[in-house]
Chain A
Amino acid sequence: MKTRRLDNYGKINRDKILSFSWDKKNYKGFEGDTLASALLANNIGIVGRSFKYHRPRGIFSSGVEESGALVTIGSKDRRDPNVRATTQELYNGLEASGQNAFPNVNFDLAGINNYLGRFFAAGFYYKTFMGIPPFEWGRGTTIWMFFEKFIRKAAGMGSASELPDPDSYEHAHDFCDLIVVGSGPAGVAAAIEAAEKKLDVILVEQDSLVGGDQLAENNFDNSQIKNQLENLGIKIMTRTTAFGLYDNCVVGLLERVTDHISTPNVNIPRQRFWTIRAKHIIVGAGAIERHIAFNNNDIPGVMTVNASKHYLNRYGVLTGKRIAIATNNDSVYETAQQLSEAGANVTVLDSRTNFEIETNKSFEIRKGYVPYNINGSKKIHSLDVSKSENMNKSETINCDQVLLSGGWSPAVHLLSHRGVRPKWDYSNACFLPSDSKENITMVGSSRGLWNKNDCIASGIAGTTDALNRLGISKTNYFFPKPGGWKNPIQPLYEVKYKKSRSKSFVDYQHDVTTDDVRLAYREGFISVEHLKRYTTLGMANDQGKMGNIIGLSLMAELLNKEIPEVGTTVFRPPYTPVSIGALSGRNVGKHFRPLRVTPMHQWNIDHGAKMIEVGLYQRPWYYPKENETLSDSYIREASTVRKTVGICDVTSLGKIAIQGPDSTEFLNRIYSNGFSKLQVGKARYGIMLRDDGIVMDDGTSWRLAENEYFMTTSTGEAAKVMSWLEELLQTRWTNLNVNVTSVSEQWAGVSVAGPKSREVLNNCVDDYLVITNNNLPFMGVTSTFLKGNIPCRIARISFSGELAFEVYVKSDFANTMMDLLWANAKKYDGCLYGLEALGALRVEKGHVAAAELDGRVTIDDAGLSKMASTKKSYIGSAMRKRGVLKNNDREILVGFFPTNLKETFNAGTIVCEKNNIKGQGIGRITSVTYSPELGHWIGLGFVKGGLDKWKDTNLVGADPVRNKQMNLKVVSPHMIDPKGERMYA
């Protein structure tokens, strides 16, 4: 087929031929083409199938408002669906394909949906979801469940690659005085004026070239503008979309760095997500031409008038030979003239009857005519037109293209992101931006200015406004009045034709027709927000840039109201789609979140540790020998601790230095148990409650000196506790002289546990006398030295229930400490143990941990009533017995054994009475382990009424997730050594 490219038109680089593929066939284009212009040049009219009805669709526009030419770019792991062909720059080797069609866009089997239209009308999803009358109306979702997969397959667009994204993305930040969005005449004038007034300016342009709509002018050369901007030191960001405005003049940008390059440098990110913090924002985002709703207004070959001007003058493509232009305004005549000069046979149908326009008379103008029906299905054969006053008088125009201009909508989207509602302007038939109290100024045609000189003047005025608001100047300025056409626009949104049986589209991308809007009205969905959701008007990724106003006008007509009374929907970011990759940036894979390791991390790995994530921390999970499994390993480790000795890295615990004369008073207020009498050289286990009486965290505090404590917290709550202590000291108890410092990173900690732990330590400390039972009794604390003159802190604290010590050294000495302890532990057949064995040991002892202290548990629930002092007031003391917290049937901490000791159970099991297995039961199991000491599985958890109520009753553990049930008995949570004789040894 012959090319549509004209020799003497366009700014494409004809010396550089690019080859690309469309639906697996090869074509040629030029450097400077978009995919859309190259497709048009190659005479490809059908580029997609519509969302619901699978109607053939062509290219409607030349920009971001495109709602027809949505295609898939690339393949395999670089397959990108729903890309606008109109903004995709062509590159050598580009692979593009049509969407939503089988086998292809030219012949699509699902095109049958077009004839089943009444089933796919507005509200279709909701109605199907409710059941289909009369069979199962209101009875639920059976039919939906049955049809869902077919419907989802039939109605949809392109599909994303399911493979990992091979490209990298970057987050970047910048600051400036003024950011200008849009490089049309207004934006450029604003930027130049600001730079001359010494402001630091960033100019953002979504296109690859600066110039805005001037790029559609046949004699426009943008290099001069570009040089001028650069010489003034303006930072120009092309291929960059300002997708959203946020509080405090923060602008979100998406820079497409390599999307136009065939083989990008792998060291360059594909896209950059910019956060710009500006002092003022000027938006010159332009305006978008609307179409007109009438029968079959979606046949390939329909386009906006301005788009055809772009294709002609920028890309050298004449989009039709016999062109009918339908309009209600003056903006089309320059284009009509140029198209006709380029060789097309042009007829303009203007709905207005009384107007004067100067042309070179190279084309026909039919005053008072409107289009009402297109004949054709895959391409346009002819257009039925009639007198707008008398629809009975009609005739048919032979044409191969229909260009539409229903007026222009200023791009007020970015301002709308800031909650500023636009106001309807009757004389220009469009929404105009309202003034913003924030430092945002709208300029150019995005404030409804239709000619270039007005746009330039508005840009300069915009910068003056910015300078005034920034307090740099106090200059009077004025904006030109909206408008600028010689003849007024005549509102025209829809041309109705009684005989029509086909479809008249409002929103091309979501296949919303004028009938859908009427149906929504009849069914009561008359508010704009309801109309939008019921019909999905404006909910596709073009956000109704072309069609929203038409939908509004139809609803206004139905309600017998004016458009401003019907309202407008709020635009939300992003202005154009932003890829998930750009949002996540480099925060993927291992960089998804920060990684915390202990100073002996490598030592642990070198000694065979398998690691597990605990919050952000990597902690040793277990240390398997040869072929041991996880359970083999932790059972051996836990047994070894009880028999001889084990060493466990506990560095991830939170550590806080508490210093100052009021430290004791402070601790006495934040812990539920007494701290006022804790002697120097002693540690105490303490529980912190929240203001509302629920347990926040538990840990130990060591009194190192009169006014100095060393606090440990749980791993998970460390950051929260630190913030909490700071809050109390800075906001509530500002007269307390206490300083808190996080020293979690400064100290490496290890637990040495087991009957042989003292003997191991004897060989490791400088002076073994400091750790004798007399000198370091249970809960004793000492600051001493490990061999090699390593300062350390030792506390005799036990989590395992065995004789045990926690040893802390400065983080730099961590490996030396581990070497020393491990060398000596081996002499007693000791082991290294991980989190799994630690868990087994504490469950056997009935010690609560994060699984139990889940933010719902009181100190009494946790069986720790004796930790709640009655002699003092503390945080949470007034509230811990409030309302429901004092009920008798609260769930209390207990232990669980399976009745048949050979059985197992899992955490999460619901505890029920035998004949009442349902709902939430009477309790739950929170932690389970195999107990090496007892030789069977045990659990910790909660049951209503606690041990006393259920100790002689057989209960049932229900585990519906794993489809499992077992008989249980309730036991004391202190499942071994309940008197704690071992710890005191």
Chain B
Amino acid sequence: MIRINCPYCGERDHSEFSYGGDATINYPSLDSSEKEWTEAIFFRKNIKGFQFETWHHSNGCRMWLVVERSTVTHEIKSVKPCHPNLQKVVENNK
């Protein structure tokens, strides 16, 4: 079982979270072309090793998180809020 250290709730079982997806995508603006959106939605790297991915603490504080996780070992290097303002709050409270 993966344990994720939510910056707000502490370390919790992964069953409290929902997996989001690739956290490194810069979604194009809404008026961007079909081509740009196709790139953003359908093309994914298949990373062996650490990747940044989003997780939603859906059965906890409801925060969306960026989790740096190894796809090989499930080791988690870092967890932080997706929203930059929430990141600052977490930093300031350290």
Contact = CB atoms under 8 A, between A and B. Distances in A.
Interface of A: 246-248, 250, 275, 277, 419, 437-438, 669, 691-692, 719, 723, 726-727, 729-732, 734, 873-875, 877-879, 881-882
A692 B56 CA distance: 21
A879 B31 CA distance: 11
28 contacts: A246-B1, A247-B2, A247-B3, A248-B3, A250-B3, A275-B1, A277-B3, A669-B30, A691-B27, A691-B37, A691-B40, A691-B41, A723-B18, A723-B56, A723-B58, A726-B62, A727-B54, A729-B83, A730-B81, A732-B27, A873-B31, A874-B30, A877-B30, A878-B31, A878-B37, A879-B38, A881-B34, A882-B34
A770 B9 CA distance: 46
Nearest to A247: B74
Contact of B2 (A248, A419, A719, A875): A248
B34 A731 contact: no
Interface in B19-56: 20, 23, 27-34, 36-38, 40-42, 54, 56
A236 B39 CA distance: 56
B38 A248 contact: no
A873 B41 contact: no
Nearest to A732: B27
Contacts of B84: 734
A878 B30 contact: yes
Interface in B58-72: 58, 62-64
Contacts of B27: 691, 732
B83 A731 contact: yes
Contacts of A275: 1
A486 B40 CA distance: 67
Given A723-B18, A878-B32, A878-B34, A730 B41 contact: no
Contacts of B79: none
A875 B74 CA distance: 32
A216 to B, nearest CB: 36
Nearest to B72: A419
B54 A879 contact: no
Contacts of B40: 691
Contacts of A437: 73
A658 to B, nearest CB: 15
Nearest to A734: B83
B37 A879 contact: yes
A731 B85 CA distance: 11
B1 A727 contact: no
B74 A730 contact: no
Nearest to B18: A723
Contacts of B32: 878
Contacts of A731: 20, 23, 54, 64, 82-83
Number of chain B interface residues as a range: 20 to 34
Contact of B56 (A726, A732, A873, A878): A726
Given A734-B83, A875-B30, A878-B30, A250 B64 contact: no
Interface of B: 1-3, 18, 20, 23, 27-34, 36-38, 40-42, 54, 56, 58, 62-64, 73-74, 81-86
A727 B3 contact: no
Given A726-B56, A727-B20, A731-B83, A247 B1 contact: yes
A882 to B, nearest CB: 5
List 4 A-B pairs, minimum CB-CB distance, nearest first.
A873-B30, A730-B64, A873-B31, A248-B3
A851 B25 CA distance: 32
A882 B38 CA distance: 9
Contacts of A882: 34, 38
A438 B62 CA distance: 30
A96 to B, nearest CB: 36
B69 to A, nearest CB: 10
A650 B38 CA distance: 38
A250 B54 CA distance: 23
B28 to A, nearest CB: 8
A727 B30 CA distance: 16
A726 B83 CA distance: 10
B38 A730 contact: no
Contacts of B37: 691, 878-879
A911 B94 CA distance: 63
* Chain A CB within 10 A, most for which of B42, B64, B74: B64
Nearest to A719: B58
A727 B56 contact: yes
A875 to B, nearest CB: 7
A437 B81 CA distance: 28
A172 to B, nearest CB: 14
A248 B1 contact: yes
A730 B82 contact: yes
Contacts of A692: 41-42
Contacts of A878: 28, 30-34, 36-37
Contacts of A734: 82-85
B34 A726 contact: no
B1 A730 contact: no
Contact of B41 (A669, A874, A879): A879
A729 B85 CA distance: 12
Nearest to B35: A878
B64 A726 contact: yes
B38 A727 contact: no
Nearest to B76: A248
Contacts of A879: 34, 37-38, 41
Contacts of A877: 30
A734 B42 CA distance: 23
Contacts of B33: 878
A344 B87 CA distance: 75
